Structure 1
Amino acid sequence: MTQTDQTHDFDHAIKDEDIERAKLLLGIDAPISIDEHHRELSTDAIRQFAIGYGDDNPLYVDPDYARDTRWGGPIAPPMIHCALSRKMLGDPIPEDIRKATRGLFSGIHLFVSGQDTEWFLPVRPGDQLFGFGGMETTEVKNSEYAGRSVIRIRRVVRINQRAEVVAIERTILIATERKKSRERGKYMNLEPGTYTDEQIAEIDEIYAAEGPRGAEPRYYEDVQVGEALPKMVKGPLTLTDMISFHAGGYGFGPYGIGGARVGYKNRQRVPKFYIKNAAGIPDVAQRLHWENEWSQSIGNPMAYDYGVMRECWLTHYLTDWMGDDGWLVRQHDEMRKFNYIGDTQFITGEVVGKRIENGNGVVDVEFRATSQRGEVTAPATATVALPSRELGPVVLPLPDEATRRKAVAMMERHNELAHGTKR
């Protein structure tokens, strides 16, 4: 779960008027106005991003190997759009709606708890990504973790510099009342994961058996419903893993976080994002992913991972299995439980369906990440297109025509503004 805190005051509650104001944003598309860690993709960025979440697939990390695949060179892992994006210029949301929704859910604990993603094109060295989108749905529910919650779905269309649709993501955003989450404290007695040498050896045995399918095609005709996919392991999660994920490319792009003077300037820009630590030093609210004390102050027993990190793990599970010639069509995942520092996630899955879709042989997979405590922390489903002896190589899917037209219009407007021209 990715969390962004806006203030240290735990007494903020979700307001009915905020829920109504949030509905004003439904159906309005706007350009994504942030730069991620990478603004233009390189072979190095692809390699470091993959290694950052523990993926050594040569399709991503070895350009010489990738040159001999159907792709003719390196392509980025599916989740690259969480680390690669440039600010898109365009027309903002209407001024009256912007004013009416200013400060929406201020002081409320915000989580990203899952995502539904469709992929249409590979991202290659030299590519740039841009995005546009907005809120698709808003719903009020009672959360198991923190009482009253507002669940919102944000749709973002990722396009490259040629206005081609690369991916469409629908992100599940949950706003919860932090005072309630702290007072419930249902996880506070959870003990951190500890391991014997024998348990580490068992985990290492799974790592040793893992590996990408690679150049050997996994044909559609050879896959059977009910077939189990090989087990994958991720963990035990350490602070080093979190550092590697950031250094690999996730970075701190959307938050503007940096060291020394850059950090000072960002603190002036978004002062509520900086909360004093035990030493009296203002530090980012985001540190709950690496600082136990701050995480405990909002009702968690220890620091925990990012939801997007587990999404990278889940896609890794599928790309290893499908091989170089397969294509991940779509994935739906939910972050149901926290993955704390010290936890180990075991990823398992099985084929639950197969059919012909858009000229491809596709298989449906149900899979999940399960912790060493036996709890399913991240259930997921996916559709994978595989090469076929009868149908031939995988044909990349196409987005709907309305989205394609909107992508072209948004990029045209971006270019107009970038070059100082007007319609």
Structure 2
Amino acid sequence: MTTAEKSQEDTEIYTFLDSDIQRAKDICGIYHAVTQREQFSRATPDVIRNFARSYGDDNPLFVDEDYGPDTRWGAQIAPPMINIALRKDLLADKMPREHRRPAFRGIHVFVSGSQTDWYRPVYDGDTVYAFHGFEKVELKESEFAGRSLFVTRIHVQFNQRAEVVQAQRVLTIHTERHESKKRKKYDAIEAATYTPDEIAAIDELYAAEAPRGSQTRYWDDVQVGDSLGDLVKGPLTATDMMVFHSGGYGFAPYTPSAGRLGYKNRQRIAAFYIPNEQGVPDVAQRIHWDSEYARSIGLPAAYDYGMMRDCWLTHYLTDWMGDEGWIESMSSQMRKFNYLGDTHYFTGEVTGKRVDGGRHLVDVEFRGTSQRGEVTCPATATISLPSRESGLAVLPTPPADWELIAAQMLKRHGELRAQKRRSGQA
């Protein structure tokens, strides 16, 4: 690309098409089967354990298959965020053109936050499927920023019995792109460095951490204002990112691959591969572990995934609540980058307690704060705890219409699979 061509590209204006905005609104409430699998499709003790370990969680409820049978769950269960690594593809009829989501070509997209609701645990042997769709679309306009489209997408996960296990709503903000100028906003951010004494101080925090486990935390004993304790994560390294990937996250829909599979993937999505400093095509996703590449596009270093911090946030909660608690819902925001070298300190407190439909609930506010003193990921959550009077924590009930949709999709999946078998395609 010549300098003139690059200059023309930098000054190109990308705006929303009114037809794309209207289509986004029209498809709200229309759900589609997810036809792409994640890294794993069926829960096993190894899948569950390795996923928990991928973000640094050593809770025996998740990592020890011999521990779970002695808990209220009767077996090892998966960590809350297992949905980001576990999903089997569904066979489905071809989506009508008018139901496809708009491309929004040239429009900036970023994730502002998410809310997850949990209904049932995932056990060894469970297969997880999903359907998704737009739930809400809202257009906002300002003289300074132009038009922004706020899109809430919902992803509903269910097991092989058509039982909904969880639902996640993700808020994405689509913004118009006008004349681009080199940003200087990150120039003042310096990479974190540590002395041996500072690493020793972090190690002391790690040494003091432990999941509450079998020491039941009763709703009756929790008071508003109680601290949730402390949890540390970091300093973040490229190794942390690799281990997180090895636990199953970050493959769909891009499917980073090696060798011949990498070549085939490059033919499928050539634009996703950008030559590195040696001229070798490599995934754009390496911005999460390759600081040289991150610096080449104006960032001070590689940075984590928002979903990694969601895993950290749920780790903080499950350590506090013990084996018998259940996270009903969590809402989180990703306000700042978490760069390689950064350390996060998690703190929180109880903000309310109540009884709702026989469920003894505790509301909490918590957050991750970097070594710079910046709160990068504030969150709120509702936790169901056992009570001394009524016993076990009661799980919430998923919407009946979701389970009906799940059953219909599984039925159609089976019909299409049978058709493929009869035609010799499977």
TM (norm. structure 2) is: 0.90
1:5 matched residue in structure 2:
none
1:173 matched residue in structure 2:
172
Aligned residues: 410
2:5 matched residue in structure 1:
none
1:4 matched residue in structure 2:
none
Q: After the TM superposition, which residues 280-291 of structure 1 pair with which residues of structure 2 at under 5 Å, given as runs? A: 280-291=279-290
Q: Distance in 1 between matches of 2:197 and 2:286?
A: 32
String of CA shifts for 1:110-146, please: whole Å, max 9, x gaps. 3333210000110011111000020112234589xx9
Q: Is the 8 A contact 1:361 1:391 kept in 2?
A: no
SS in 2 for 1:394: coil
SS in 1 for 2:134: strand
Q: Which piece of structure 1 moves more, 304-313 or 112-121?
A: 112-121
Letter in 1 for 2:385: L
Paired-residue identity, %: 55
Letter in 1 for 2:303: Y
Q: After the TM superposition, which residues 4-403 of structure 1 pair with which residues of structure 2 at under 5 Å, given as runs? A: 11=12, 13-17=14-18, 18-98=20-100, 101=101, 104-140=103-139, 149-176=148-175, 183-403=182-402
Q: Which piece of structure 1 moves more, 312-321 or 388-397?
A: 388-397
Q: Distance in 1 between matches of 2:381 and 2:91?
A: 33
Q: Distance in 2 between matches of 1:61 and 1:339?
A: 26
- The CA deviation at 1:199 is 1.6
Cα separation, partners in 2 of 1:311 and 1:188, compared to 1, 3 Å? same
Q: Is the 8 A contact 1:113 1:307 kept in 2?
A: no
Cα separation, partners in 2 of 1:188 and 1:88, compared to 1, 3 Å? farther
Q: After the TM superposition, which residues 395-414 of structure 1 pair with which residues of structure 2 at under 5 Å, given as runs? A: 395-414=394-413
- The CA deviation at 1:182 is 6.2
SS in 1 for 2:338: coil
Q: Distance in 2 between matches of 1:211 and 1:181?
A: 48
Contiguous gaps of at least 5 residues in structure 1: 1-8
SS in 1 for 2:212: coil
SS in 2 for 1:249: coil
Letter in 2 for 1:252: F
Cα separation, partners in 2 of 1:353 and 1:182, compared to 1, 3 Å? farther
Letter in 1 for 2:66: D
Q: Is the 8 A contact 1:29 1:133 kept in 2?
A: yes
SS in 1 for 2:229: strand
Q: Distance in 1 between matches of 2:80 and 2:65?
A: 17
- The CA deviation at 1:65 is 1.4
Cα separation, partners in 2 of 1:180 and 1:165, compared to 1, 3 Å? farther
SS in 2 for 1:228: coil
Q: Distance in 2 between matches of 1:188 and 1:300?
A: 8
Contiguous gaps of at least 5 residues in structure 2: 1-8
Letter in 2 for 1:76: A
Q: Distance in 2 between matches of 1:211 and 1:51?
A: 14
SS in 2 for 1:420: helix
Considering only CA atoms, is the larger Rg found in Structure 1 or Structure 2? 2
CA RMSD of aligned residues (A): 2.3
Q: Distance in 2 between matches of 1:150 and 1:280?
A: 37
- The CA deviation at 1:90 is 2.1
Cα separation, partners in 2 of 1:302 and 1:139, compared to 1, 3 Å? farther
Letter in 2 for 1:126: G
String of CA shifts for 1:46-81, please: whole Å, max 9, x gaps. 110000000000011111111211111110000000
Q: Is the 8 A contact 1:31 1:91 kept in 2?
A: no
Q: Distance in 1 between matches of 2:317 and 2:388?
A: 21
Cα separation, partners in 2 of 1:227 and 1:142, compared to 1, 3 Å? farther
SS in 1 for 2:162: coil
